[in-house]
Amino acid sequence: MNTSSGRRIDAQIVISAIGMFNDIAVPDLPGLEHFQGTCFHTARWNDDHDLAGERVAIIGSAASAVQTIPEIAPVVAHLDVYQRTPQWVLPKADAPFTEAELQRFRDDPDAMAAHRRGLYDQLESTILFDDAGMLADSEAAGLRNLAQVEDPDLRRRLTPAMRYGCRRPLLSNKYYPTFNRDNVTLVDCGITRVVAQGIIDGDDQFRPADTIILATGFETTRFLSAIDVIGRDDLHIRDAWQDGAQAYLGMVTSGFPNLFMIYGPNTNNGSLIYMLELEVAYIIRHIRRMAHEGIDWIDVRRAVMDDYNAVLQRDIAGVSVWAGDCRGYYRAASGRVVTQLPYNMSQWRQRTHGCPSPARALYPS
């Protein structure tokens, strides 16, 4: 392995833990290079730049924008929010524990465990988006949250047309009330071009800006191919994944011996901390096997990986909300969903801990 500093590292086993949020997505906006103000991406926040009193344009209305907009709106002179697709933004149940509740957890560990189990069960029952009642309740909660927007026309323009779950679900108690501020404007007519002092919107209206913030997310479908990884027979992972990233159990991909991935293709669902723990346990089992049996390398059989992905894509197609055309980050250019996992956490535990047996999938030297 060669680092950017020129250092070479030799290792028998490589574990990728870079996940899916690596390369930032920069929109192809005509004229952006001519903007004379300050411009940065939310993932590369300019901590040295003071937004106070500025005219700010934020481009995007998904996860990072929903978190950023309520925080900067009170300090800027004016904020233009450029929205392409209205999102479902549900209320966030994040009331702090009372001192009495905290003391109960200290005095009774079983109470803390029961509370955690309740959270697990609640998440476990909703992450497959297969409960019509849950979907209806979620959309109703989203509309109640949206009702905080006082202007009816603005509320209409912020109302999603897609089904809840088609894109990443969002939570915020502060996002919608921000649009009641006099210094916040929703711009949903698109962008014609960027000019030196601001933006020409889709209605050919000039909108001045001192700072442009790109809340446009990441190139989520690249995964490990964000790095130039070369496997057996000089195979580059970007070429192996030209139709979209794929792996067996999201952790091993054929043609790349002794390479493991954490939070790899099609593992995005549930509590990621718990899911990662299961994946780490799976990888450790194979490393121990290699050490105990004197194995130099292991690789996943191509047929096993292909069979797994065929079933995986069939099950993904069964999640109706993911089948919607909502231009989310789940799909590769080929159209295949490469980020989402159509199984709950219990099913993932079963799959990573013995179904099918790892010995059938991975073959040693």
Tens digits of per-residue pLDDT, 71-84?
A: 999 999 999 999 99
* Confidence band of 364 (pLDDT split at 50, 70, 90): low
pLDDT tens track for 253-304: 999 999 999 999 999 999 999 999 999 999 999 999 999 999 999 999 999 9
pLDDT of residue 325: 81
* Confidence band of 150 (pLDDT split at 50, 70, 90): very high
Mean pLDDT taken over the chain? 94
Mean pLDDT along residues 162-188: 96
pLDDT of residue 3: 81
Q: CATH 3.50.50.60 region(s) of the chain?
A: 14-22+220-364, 32-214
Q: Is the pLDDT of residue 360 over 80?
A: no
pLDDT of residue 156: 98
Tokens 């921000």 locate to 178
User: What share of the chain in percent tops pLDDT 70?
Assistant: 97
What secondary structure, in 3-state letters, does the chain show?
A: CECCCCCECCCCCEEECCCCCCCECCCCCCCHHHCCCEEEEHHHCCCCCCCCCCEEEEECCCHHHHHHHHHHCCCCCEEEEECCCCCCEECCCCCCCCHHHHHHHHHCHHHHHHHHHHHHHHHHCCCCCCCHHHHHHHHHHHHHHHCCCCCHHHHHHCCCCCCCCCCCCEECCCHHHHCCCCCEEEECCCEEEEECCEEEECCCCEEECCEEEECCCECCCCHHHHCCCECHHHCEHHHHCCCCCCCECCCECCCCCCEEECCCCCCECCCHHHHHHHHHHHHHHHHHHHHHHCCCCEEECHHHHHHHHHHHHHHHHCCHHHHCCCCCCCECCCCCECCECCCCHHHHHHHHCCCCCHHHHEEEC
Both structure tokens of 325: 């055309």
pLDDT of residue 138: 96
Mean pLDDT along residues 234-249: 96
Q: Is the pLDDT of residue 243 over 70?
A: yes
* Confidence band of 6 (pLDDT split at 50, 70, 90): confident
Contact criterion met (CB below 8 Å) for 200 and 206: yes
Q: What angle do CA 258, 246, 131 make, to 5 degrees?
A: 125
Mean pLDDT along residues 212-236: 95
pLDDT of residue 56: 98
Q: Which of 98-107, 157-166, 317-326, 334-343 has the lowest mean pLDDT?
A: 317-326
Per CATH, which fold does 14-22+220-364 belong to? FAD/NAD(P)-binding domain (3.50.50)
Q: Which of 2-16, 24-38, 198-212, 338-352 has the lowest mean pLDDT?
A: 2-16
The CATH code for residues 32-214 is 3.50.50.60
pLDDT tens track for 86-109: 999 999 988 999 999 999 999 999
pLDDT of residue 4: 81
* CA pair distance 95, 274, nearest whole angstrom: 23
pLDDT of residue 365: 43
Q: Is the pLDDT of residue 327 over 90?
A: no
Mean pLDDT along residues 26-50: 97
Q: What angle do CA 143, 145, 149 make, to 5 degrees?
A: 95
Global pTM value = 0.90
* CA pair distance 73, 69, nearest whole angstrom: 6
